[in-house]
Chain A
């Protein structure tokens, strides 16, 4: 099966600019996650979708971050305006089931550098 696809792989922007990341999960996976991974740390959940509905966005900085999953398939994550501390790798993951028993399948991520 094809894996989780993410684009772009790398992005460099200046602070206060906006940026968007795209994710296409594994076909048939109902649950989609966006994680932020700062250098030297483990991934931190930003938002979780079940089909096209938000399950958990408690750690999403909603003043600057937004995400959507139209039609319950692809998803985009946007940052506007970006801050220096947003420099990180943004990982998309999907799983076939909702719940803690289903391992996550990760994409290779988008490395964002904010200057």
Chain B
């Protein structure tokens, strides 16, 4: 079953703009991770945020986590054409099978030059 739901399903922006993607989930979690997938390729890990953290930064990425609302957001600042990809949130359910990440359906981001 899929726990995470990304919103929007698709997002199209111009280079230089910021992109925000949201993820909602259903059960308590140990952590939430974001992955990127370029067309025809595997997923690449971007960032992990623990359940006791509220915000985390990595380069042009900013992730927030609101456990009371069971939601997370991924912000990509100053987007580039190379950021064009699908972005997935993945949750590690609290008490679940260790290492069993549950992925959402993803947000397809298109950055136009």
Which residues of A line the B interface, CB within 8 A?
4, 31, 33, 40-45, 48, 55-56, 58, 91, 93, 95, 98-109
Q: Is the CB of B101 within 8 A of A108?
A: no
**With A91-B43, A95-B99 in contact, do A101 and B4 touch (Cβ < 8 Å)?**
no
Q: Which of B13-21, B59-67, B68-76, B103-111 contacts A (4 or more CB under 8 A)?
A: B103-111
For B, the interface residue count at a CB cutoff of 8 angstroms equals 27
Which residues of B line the A interface, CB within 8 A?
2, 4, 30-31, 33, 35, 40-45, 48, 88, 90, 92, 96-106
- Counted as pairs of residues, one from A and one from B, with CB atoms less than 8 Å apart, the total is 72
**What distance in Å separates the Cβ of B108 from its nearest Cβ neighbour in chain A?**
9
- Pick the 6 closest A-B CB pairs, nearest first: A100-B92, A42-B103, A106-B42, A103-B45, A56-B97, A100-B30
Q: Which of B42, B48, B100, B105 contacts A45 (CB 8 A)?
A: B100
Task: Note all chain A residues with C-beta closer than 8 A to B90.
Answer: 42
Task: Note all chain A residues with C-beta closer than 8 A to B4.
Answer: 42
Q: Is the CB of A42 within 8 A of B45?
A: no
Q: Is the CB of B42 within 8 A of A101?
A: no
Q: Is the CB of A107 within 8 A of B99?
A: no
Task: Note all chain A residues with C-beta closer than 8 A to B40.
Answer: 108
